[in-house]
Amino acid sequence: MATDELDPVFALHRGGKMEVRSTVPVRDRDDLSLAYTPGVARVCTAIAENPELVHDYTWVSNTVAVVTDGTAVLGLGDIGPAASLPVMEGKAILFKQFGGVDAVPIALDCTDVDELVDTIARLAPSFGGINLEDISAPRCFEVERRLQERVSIPVFHDDQHGTAIVALAALRNAATVTGRGLRDLRAVISGAGAAGIAIAKILIEAGIGDLCVVDSRGIVHEGRDDLTPIKRMIAELTNKAGLRGGIEVAMKGADVFLGVSAGKVPEEVVATMAPEAIIFAMANPNPEIEPDLAHKYAAVVATGRSDYPNQINNVLAFPGVFAGALSVRAKRITEGMKVAAAEALAAVVADELAPDRVIPSPFDERVAPAVTKAVAEAARRDGVARI
């Protein structure tokens, strides 16, 4: 694809979208001696004696690494580390814009799980948290789990948990709009990748009535012999009705559809959902169920697109989640912290609910402070806060 310097997208990206700036002046010899040698040696010595001081006297307390291997970038797939950098830069500026958190984009030229975990773990002392981004499933599950076992700072795979937090927040409000609670709903999740598995886990944690997950081979159930370990775990926790078959079986009588896959759902299948259905067709840019079609059968419709109401956008979650975790020097991000983030996000628009407003806008200035506060409080409750 040729670049076009008259194209405003290429013009904006020329030279990159971010830079590093000093927070202290270096105007003369006195400033230099304080910011660098010899003064800096005293700070280094203090940190060597008490490593926790790194949070007080370096950028660690408010900086995360945004790390990818470039294997699952947006809807572009495996485009490699270099091509992923514009996305990682974009993520970093969203951290700053919406959460006041500094972020550094890091694209790694390796895809082996062992190498990824080892490399990121070795980088960890420079940061207060690790945001994993655009790493393909199922490796992303293993990378996150093993990395969190190695480091004592939060590790958060946003493609999983950011999507799940926002989806739960929107679903809480959509249930309220239609006169129900989560425990009244049977949900279908289309897609068993990173986002689908995370949504299933957070809905179970939040008390969903029942749900089933559908992958490319049909409903995920305990009788299947082709399940990965993570899908087997989901099979054990879901599908109380014991359904077997394809998406058409799962959707019949379902209250909720949550789409995080590329597959289209036929209208005749959508038409079998329960009255007052809720449809979150989040594939981007092409939803699994087109909004005009969804509105024929659903009371509340959400997508992943910014040109329709009720956008399920990760930027509503990850800046506040990290800001909250960093503010209390959390060792990790717990399920309780994620649910607290979703509840706080839902509460932002609790007094303004309507079918086309079950989730705030990313530009709503109430979002990040609310999520930050809720996550910090949950970290203390869950015993993972250091302060």
CA atoms of 66 and 89, how far apart (whole Å): 9
Q: Are 124 and 132 in contact (CB under 8 A)?
A: no
DSSP single-letter state for residue 311: B
The residue behind tokens 């989560």 is 182
CA atoms of 307 and 330, how far apart (whole Å): 36
CA atoms of 252 and 148, how far apart (whole Å): 39
Ligand-binding annotation for 49, yes or no, is no
| Orientation of helix 335-348 relative to helix 367-381, angle to 10° | 150
The residue behind tokens 């598995």 is 197
CA atoms of 218 and 137, how far apart (whole Å): 18
Ligand-binding annotation for 239, yes or no, is no
Ligand-binding annotation for 382, yes or no, is no
Nearest to 202 by CA among 345, 21, 79: 345
Of the CA atoms within 13 Å of residue 282, those in its CB half-sphere come to 29
Ligand-binding annotation for 284, yes or no, is yes
Q: How far is CA 80 from the centre of its chain?
A: 21
Q: Tell the burial category of 273 from Cβ atoms under 10 Å away from its Cβ (0-12, 13-18, 19+).
A: buried
CA atoms of 348 and 317, how far apart (whole Å): 13
CA atoms of 287 and 64, how far apart (whole Å): 31
Ligand-binding annotation for 248, yes or no, is no
Question: 225: which residues sit within 8 A by CB, 6+ positions away?
Answer: none
| Orientation of helix 158-177 relative to helix 139-150, angle to 10° | 110
- Catalytic residues, by residue number, are 36, 91
Annotated binding site for a divalent metal cation: 133-134, 159
Annotated binding site for (S)-malate: 284, 313
Annotated binding site: 133-134, 159, 284, 313
